[in-house]
Amino acid sequence: MTRSTSRSSASAARASARSSDAEPITPGRFLREKVLAPEGLTQDQLASAMGVSRLTVNEIANDRRTVTAEMALRLEAVTRISASLWLNLQRAVDLHRARAALAETLPLLSPITREREFINFGGEPEIEKIE
């Protein structure tokens, strides 16, 4: 079976990360490789457009600062890349790092609630109504 080659680089990165233990692409790497370099933008230009300091953009670009919801909205406003994508990149990295940090602990934990069917639908989570 052949996969479509029209997938975005972000979705390709997520698929690749799921199939290996490699860390997913960070928001900083995505920013450097898919926004700044192709557009010929400097960190200073991006910072000015976003209304933040160059240090803030530099720390994000060099993976020393996480992307918050507010920062994702600022990035969306100036890059035309959805805030959800920026937050999903950050979430994937955070979960990967947490799983690695808890690798010895998680197998020792046992569920204490009733069995549920988990569905990964890629959208906003639905809250189960309690009656």
pLDDT at 114: 87
Q: Has residue 31 been placed in a domain?
A: yes
What are the CA-CA distances from residue 23 to residues 19, 50, 62, 66, 129 (Å)?
11, 28, 15, 15, 35
Total of domains in the chain? 1
DSSP 21-78: SSPPPPHHHHIIIIIIHHHT--HHHHHHHHTS-HHHHHHHHTTSSPPPHHHHHHHHHH
Domain extent for 25: 9-101
- Per-residue pLDDT of 95-126, as tens digits, reads 999 999 999 999 999 999 888 887 676 665 55
Q: Has residue 123 been placed in a domain?
A: no
Q: Which CATH number is 93's domain given?
A: 1.10.260.40
Q: Has residue 124 been placed in a domain?
A: no
Q: Has residue 19 been placed in a domain?
A: yes
pLDDT at 118: 75
Q: Has residue 45 been placed in a domain?
A: yes
Task: Collect the ranges in the chain with pLDDT lower than 70.
Answer: 1-20, 119, 121-131
pLDDT at 3: 46
Q: Has residue 97 been placed in a domain?
A: yes
